């Protein structure tokens, strides 16, 4: 019975501290929560929680705050992730409806997650190795300059400017477009570098064709490179007090996608489950003051990760619910 009551006291401390960002005392717990016991009993429970390393006193005469171990105990006792309300579900559907392509849906998704949680949101691009070339477009934007656009059947779009090295007429642009479409339309993205090497153009177009082919090969590799889209980094500034001395290293880490990808790969999220890594549980020292909540989503049978990063003083139930609901929604969109 004591263990169950102490779990309720810990839950109340976590919820109160997340809400107020102030250490929690026994009087606040009595006034704000119906725990059914006296202040003296709550003080005894708090002493036991502190002895177990679940809460700590930041300074003399202050209330208590949760430790990483306390947050972990709190998260582990979340028996069921509450679903989003009907209004929240409608808002999600409205934001994500009528996507243009994968880039568009992931950009909307990461911004939506940041708005729902008030934290930093990360979404990993799916590695669609089975994707094939749907269309290639060449746009004349000036003397000797073309915009090369590669679009896959999964709706991913990559584009880049190329210097053709020679003036190319509108008719010659059309010839190059037809040449590459004939060779690459329907081809696996992974095979683009090999196919462009075998394309033969008429003598006066060999230079421009080589330049365009080189860019297409590079663009195709971009579809297979692990990368992230991110939103909400401004929320870190609002959490400066919680992040303390880790703020600088954390901001530096956010500039390196490889660091963030390594962080996500270390998260043990399987299937639809939501994984939570708290404070010092994170493998990177710069994330020692943060929590990372991650889950998987599916695009055409390929899994990728999405995550929320914020201070350990986080609304875990709401964050977990938002992440799982949005992951389920975009999995449906990207697998239709």
pLDDT at 87: 81
Q: What is the pLDDT of residues 200-223, one digit of tens each?
A: 889 999 999 999 999 999 888 776
Residue 204 forms part of a structural domain: yes
Same domain, 233 and 327: yes
Same domain, 233 and 212: no
pLDDT at 1: 44
Residue 49 forms part of a structural domain: yes
Same domain, 305 and 166: no
Same domain, 142 and 62: no
Rounded Cα gap, residues 286 and 36, in angstroms: 41
Same domain, 250 and 138: no
pLDDT at 113: 94
Same domain, 234 and 269: yes
Same domain, 255 and 114: yes
How confident is the chain (336 residues) per 10-residue block, as mean pLDDT?
82 92 87 81 90 89 89 89 79 81 87 92 79 90 91 83 90 93 89 88 91 91 76 80 74 80 71 82 86 88 87 93 90 81
Structurally, how many domains does the chain consist of?
3
Residue 81 forms part of a structural domain: no
Rounded Cα gap, residues 170 and 94, in angstroms: 41
Query: Which contiguous run of DSSP H or E holds residue 255?
Result: none
Same domain, 182 and 303: no
3-state secondary structure of 118: coil
CATH of the domain at 69: 1.10.10.10
Residue 66 forms part of a structural domain: yes
Which residue, 58, 53, 48, is CA-closest to 72? 53
Any idea of the CA torsion for 26, 30, 35, 39, to the nearest 10 degrees? 60
Residue 232 structural domain: 86-126+227-335
pLDDT at 27: 84
Rounded Cα gap, residues 255 and 23, in angstroms: 33
Same domain, 212 and 324: no
Q: Residue 35, Cβ neighbours under 10 Å: how many?
A: 18
Q: At what angle do helices 2-20 and 68-76 cross, to 10 degrees?
A: 110
Domain boundary among 223, 249, 267: 223
pLDDT at 178: 94
Same domain, 215 and 289: no
Q: What is the pLDDT of residues 78-105, one digit of tens each?
A: 877 777 778 888 888 888 888 777 888 8
Query: E strands along the chain, which residues?
Result: 55-56, 65-66, 120-124, 133-142, 145-152, 157-163, 228-231, 275-278, 290-299, 302-311
Residue 66: CA atoms inside 13 Å, Cβ hemisphere, count?
31
Same domain, 218 and 232: no
Instruction: Copy the structure tokens of residue 58.
Output: 């930041």
Q: What is the pTM of this model?
A: 0.72
């Amino acid at each position: 019975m004591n263990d169950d009551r102490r779990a309720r006291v810990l839950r109340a401390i976590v919820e109160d501290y997340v809400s107020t960002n102030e250490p929690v005392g026994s009087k606040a717990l009595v006034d704000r929560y119906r725990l059914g016991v006296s202040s003296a009993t709550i003080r005894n429970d708090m002493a036991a929680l502190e002895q177990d390393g679940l809460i700590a006193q930041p300074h003399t005469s202050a209330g208590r705050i949760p430790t990483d171990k306390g947050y972990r105990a709190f998260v582990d006792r979340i028996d069921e992730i509450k679903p989003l309300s009907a209004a929240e579900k409608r808002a999600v559907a409205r934001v994500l409806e009528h996507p243009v392509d994968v880039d568009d849906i992931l950009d909307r998704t990461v911004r939506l997650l940041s708005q729902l949680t008030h934290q930093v949101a990360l979404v990993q691009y799916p590695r669609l190795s089975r994707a094939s070339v749907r269309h290639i477009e060449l746009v004349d934007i000036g003397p000797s300059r073309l915009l090369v656009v590669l679009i896959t059947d999964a709706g991913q779009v990559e584009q880049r400017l190329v210097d053709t090295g020679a003036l190319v007429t509108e008719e010659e642009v059309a010839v190059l477009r037809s040449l590459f479409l004939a060779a690459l339309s329907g081809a696996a993205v992974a095979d683009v570098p090999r196919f462009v090497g075998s394309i033969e153009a008429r003598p006066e177009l060999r230079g421009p064709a080589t330049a365009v082919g080189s860019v297409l090969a590079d663009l195709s590799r971009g579809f297979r490179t692990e990368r992230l889209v991110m939103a909400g980094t401004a929320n870190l500034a609002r959490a400066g007090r919680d992040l303390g001395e880790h703020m600088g290293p954390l901001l530096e880490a956010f500039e390196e996608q490889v660091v963030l990808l390594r962080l996500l790969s270390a998260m043990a999220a399987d299937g639809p489950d939501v994984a939570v890594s708290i404070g010092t549980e994170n493998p990177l020292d710069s994330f020692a003051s943060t929590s990372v909540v991650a889950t998987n989503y599916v695009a055409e049978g390929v899994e990728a990760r999405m995550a929320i990063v914020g201070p350990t003083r986080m609304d875990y139930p709401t964050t977990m619910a938002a992440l799982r609901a949005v992951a389920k929604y975009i999995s449906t969109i990207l697998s239709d």
